[in-house]
Amino acid sequence: MPNLLVAAAVMAGVLAGSAQAAPTVPLKTERDLFVSVCTPRMSARIAKQPEIVCGCLHDNAVSREEDTELRLALIRGVEETGVPSIQYAWVPNKSQERVVEALDKVAAPTLACMFGPTR
């Protein structure tokens, strides 16, 4: 639970500095914050229901990362690129050894959310 509060506080700060992703209603959960950051970028990639895709990304990919630093880096990746991604410079040294593992863990759920389940 403390990790969620930290992530929500960081995301609130990110949103406060971004006019493009400024919410029109108060956001209550980390998921709401994530979807509000994700949707503008995802709209450029997925024309149909980007909010649903972003909710799926949060529920099945990003929120499953237990390391707070890596989860925040994934969120930043979505904000900057439109898909979960991590740059080594975004995470402290102690978490850098898990970057590839984190990206591997979110790859299949990301593809399933964006393009449907793989066969």
pLDDT tens, residue by residue, 102-115 = 999 999 999 999 88
* Tokens representing residue 90 in the block: 């975004």
> What confidence tens digit (pLDDT) does each residue in 77-94 have?
988 888 889 999 999 999
Total number of domains constituting the chain? 1
Encode 84-106: b = buried (16+ Cβ within 10 Å), e = exposed. Answer: bbbeeebbeeebbebbeebbebb
- Please name which of 58, 78, 61 lies closest in space to residue 15, comparing C-alpha atoms: 78
Looking at residue 81, its pLDDT comes to: 85
| Residue 78, domain extent | 2-115
Do residues 78 and 38 make contact, with C-beta atoms less than 8 angstroms apart? yes
More confident residue, 119 or 26: 26
Task: Say if residue 16's pLDDT is above 70.
Answer: no
Is the pTM for the entire model greater than 0.95?
Answer: no
Q: How many CB atoms sit inside 10 A of residue 115's CB?
A: 10
Cα(95)–Cα(106) distance, integer angstroms: 16
